[in-house]
Amino acid sequence: MSVLSKPYFHDEAEAFRHLESVLWPEGPVCPHCGSVSGKHYDLRKTRLGLRKCSDCRKQFTVKVGTVFESAHIPLNKMLQAVYLMTSSKKGISAHQLHRVLEVQYKTAWFLAHRIREAMRDGSMSPLGGNGGTVEVDETYIGRAEGTEVGPGTYHKNAVLALIERGGSVRSFHVDGAKVSEVAPIVRANLAREAKMMTDESSIYTKLGKEFAMHQTVNHADKEYVRRTNVRQLPKGEPMVVTTNTIEGYFSIFKRGMKGVYQHCSEKHLHRYLAEFDFRYNQRIALGVDDKNRAGKALLGISGKRLKYKGPDSLPA
Ligand SMILES: [Zn+2]
């Protein structure tokens, strides 16, 4: 017996039952008119998962309105893919999904993007409320489209991330590490009462004054951790100034992108970021195990339908 021997990973009718139990804890909900009447017709003998609304008379299944809606793969295989993607720390490539699930590569690639979409965090409350400590930093990855590889970082894709110590991360694909790109994102995602930690980069100098505290480490001088006493904290409780938490997160992201996702086109970078953010935010240290993590990804599948737009949406 293994986790993957669960019936809903192997039997499509069981897979429908499982997804229904996650998305419809109170019984079937009509996606057309929102009716939650217990009198919806059960047409599951006609077609897998099929229901008919007792109010608007339209038919539906639990897949309607979710990222799974127009995917032509048995639902049990899609649930396997959700489990595999949410349980491996660095992710799983479309090639590996294609081999494990025995579906076409193109199908696997698109399915992975559907699941990434389900992992996108819609939460809007700013990080660092209640005076939490939030590290903010940028990194560079891959090569931006239409550029040549050269010295420096101008040809790479810039990623900005904010991470609350002991809490969540949020990452963004930005058009370069400059104030005009970084400031609006930081203002929208960081609470005013937050303690902000960055490196010495000048893009944070003015911005930092908008928050309760801004401390910097000077990486140019090889300074990575500094303990300091600040008046906002009780006497004798030094503040640890560092961006090591976020550096650690970037290193998982980069190892994953290098080892697993070799070709990531620029327009999909935000989805890969959502995937890595999701796994970090639903991590063991916060009490989320592999099974719960897969369940949380399933809860994110509604209302985010991703349409297949032809071969242009495939990676190079
Ligand atoms: Zn209805």
Question: For the chain, what are the domain ranges?
Answer: 3-122+298-313, 129-264
Give me ligand 1 centre to Cα 51, in Å. Answer: 10
Give me ligand 1 centre to Cα 123, in Å. Answer: 28
Give the pLDDT score at 236: 58
Residue 266 has pLDDT above 70, yes or no: yes
From start to end of 36-177, where are the E strands? 41-42, 51-52, 59-60, 133-141, 157-164, 169-174
The average pLDDT across 50-74 equals 91
Contact by Cβ (8 Å): 116, 273: no
Give me ligand 1 centre to Cα 299, in Å. Answer: 21
Give me ligand 1 centre to Cα 43, in Å. Answer: 14
Q: What is the mean pLDDT of the chain?
A: 85
Please state at what angle helix 75-87 crosses helix 105-119, rounded to 10 degrees: 60
Give the pLDDT score at 307: 46
Q: Which residues make beta-bridge pairs with 214?
A: 196
The full length of the chain comes to 316
At 112 the three-state DSSP class reads helix
The average pLDDT across 143-168 equals 75
Give the pLDDT score at 144: 61
Give the pLDDT score at 153: 57
Give me ligand 1 centre to Cα 219, in Å. Answer: 59
Give me ligand 1 centre to Cα 33, in Å. Answer: 4
Residue 248, C-beta contacts closer than 8 angstroms, at least 6 positions apart: none
Residue bearing the bigger pLDDT, 306 or 200: 200
Give me ligand 1 centre to Cα 11, in Å. Answer: 28
**Residue 3 carries which side chain, given as an amino acid letter?**
V
Give the pLDDT score at 311: 40
For residue 279, what is the enclosing H or E element? helix 269-281
Class of the 129-264 domain?
alpha beta
The average pLDDT across 82-103 equals 91
Q: Is the dihedral of CA 9, 296, 269, 113 positive or negative?
A: positive
Residue bearing the bigger pLDDT, 233 or 14: 14
- Report how far residue 315's alpha carbon sits from residue 46's, in angstroms, rounded to the nearest whole number: 38
Give me ligand 1 centre to Cα 29, in Å. Answer: 8
Give me ligand 1 centre to Cα 315, in Å. Answer: 38
The average pLDDT across 249-275 equals 84
